[in-house]
Copies of this chain bind each other. A is one copy, B any other.
Amino acid sequence: MTEPINTQYLETLLGYNARRATLHIVGHFVHRMAEFELKPATFSALCLIGRNPGITSRQLCQTLNILPPNMVGFLKEFEHRGWITRAPSPFDGRATSLSLTAQGKKFIQRAEKAAQAADQHAAQALSPTEFKTLTRLLKKIHHTAAIASA
């Protein structure tokens, strides 16, 4: 060990801090959600189906910024595990209407509790007020993208 490494400049950058913090938070998430075999993308997709019964694959993709070919495997897995059902959309014969099964509802309910616990654990250095502030400012950032692409 020689001298400590100077990281001061990098830590003035929003991008650097955002990337490092997200790696930390997602790391906790993946660790805690391992028992559910859910990762950020699959967890988010299941949550959205639960709160938006009848949502189509394309709507899921647009909302989560996932490309359609990469969603196919997720939905196949969800169906295979008995968490979702696919029905022809009543509005569009090309689309499929996604909903949670009773089993899927129970499962995601438990997973959502674990996700919140993972959040809290990853952000244990923050006060409740700081947690809320951080969440609000992050939301503000990624909502810029949604407005810009509308």
Contacts and interface: CB of A to CB of B under 8 A. Distances in A.
Interface residues of A, number: 63
B17 A139 contact: yes
Given A11-B139, A141-B122, A5 B55 contact: yes
Report whether over half of chain A's contact residues are helix, strand or loop; otherwise say mixed.
helix
Contacts of A118: 15
A141 B125 contact: yes
Contact of A65 (B23, B112, B131, B135): B23
A14 B122 contact: yes
Contact of A15 (B8, B26, B141, B142): B26
Given A23-B65, A130-B137, A144-B124, A29 B15 contact: yes
Among all A-B residue pairs, the 10 with the closest Cβ atoms: A17-B138, A20-B142, A21-B141, A21-B138, A22-B22, A134-B137, A21-B142, A18-B22, A14-B119, A125-B144
